Homo-oligomer: A and B are copies of this chain.
Amino acid sequence: MQNKEVHLKKLINNPEMVVREELEGVALAHGDLVKVNYDPNFVYRADAPTQGKVAVISGGGSGHEPMHGGFVGYSMLDAACPGAVFTSPTPDQMYEAAKKVDGGAGVLYIVKNYTGDVMNFEMAADLLKAEDIPVESVLVDDDVAVQNSTWTAGRRGVGTTVLMEKIVGGAAEAGYSLEKLAELARKVNANGRSMGMALTSCTVPHVGKPTFELGEDEMEIGIGIHGEPGRTRMKLQSADQIVEMLVEPIVADLPFKGGDNVLAFVNSMGGTPLVELYIVYRKMAEILKGKGINITRNLVGPYITSLEMAGASITLLKLDDEMTKFWDAPVQTPGLRWGR
């Protein structure tokens, strides 16, 4: 590695070793909370399996940290399966992870709606079913930037995933059955909507050049978390104008209505610092207030990222008592923690 010419503005050694070395770092830093299995790669709770508890497992391409590995721990995920950067993980990862953390009450797979993720999780579920291990898969497809339709791949799964992992993890910890848990997870998905935007592209380490080109004065509205194109590319606008372009389609889609209680999640795509997220939050809160929508819970920070991409996304989740209760439940993971 010492001789390889370094040409990316990234703190990495070998582009091919990024995920492996990151996992080693996670294991070293958070050994009290999680363990890491290599080949196949997955992060799992240090105290797994929890007997009698449904095992909640998620996964997806790497590059979205802290999601998913950072959300393994008490009251959230039992295991997370990281693929190569921006590439879905393989069935052996999800299968072996399930075998490791299964506490005898079944397995819930949380799957973001990308063709690759869906098929790989499906193959893993087939393997579990062949061994009579009860398994349910729940899709997240909350991105309003993509027009939904039954004859395409459908909407992408984005910000609601983070909220689902927390809420469902809390309910699993509280003893929900697999069936009830899957029902809750689908309710979260049904009530969550997101949209993101990018100010800059990002560079996948092993690709070595930006995923897409964006002019010095341009931005992409409706960006996907792998740099997929959005709804429109346009000239840069003020934060307030951008927030409007994100919030209005989200609100119109569900639709969110006056009197609704929502969890408002303002997320950084990775390269956008906190100070800007609060400027986004400010305008979002103003718009929602104008519509009579109450923000009763919130989350602000980089939780579902796209490497170093600059930009932000907004997720709104319409809450009820059940979702609120499990959002509030104590959680202890490397990436999200409160109450213990």
Contacts and interface: CB of A to CB of B under 8 A. Distances in A.
A23 B199 CA distance: 23
Interface in A289-330: 298, 300, 302, 305, 307-308, 310-312
A153 interface: no
A238 B4 contact: yes
Contacts of A4: 238
A214 to B, nearest CB: 9
A262 to B, nearest CB: 13
Most buried by B among A21, A199, A235: A21
A308 B12 contact: no
Copies of this chain assembled into the complex: 2
Nearest to A340: B339
A236 interface: yes
Contacts of A10: 199, 239, 272, 276
Contact of A279 (B11, B236, B276, B280): B11
A282 B21 contact: yes
A241 interface: yes
| A-B complex: 10 closest residue pairs judged by Cβ atoms | A25-B278, A25-B282, A11-B276, A65-B274, A25-B281, A9-B199, A6-B236, A11-B239, A22-B278, A28-B285
Interface of A: 1-2, 4, 6-14, 18, 21-26, 28-29, 62-63, 65-66, 70, 199-200, 217, 219, 235-242, 266, 270-282, 285, 298, 300, 302, 305, 307-308, 310-312, 332, 334, 337-340
12 contacts: A6-B236, A7-B236, A10-B276, A12-B238, A12-B239, A21-B239, A25-B281, A25-B282, A29-B266, A273-B302, A274-B305, A332-B338
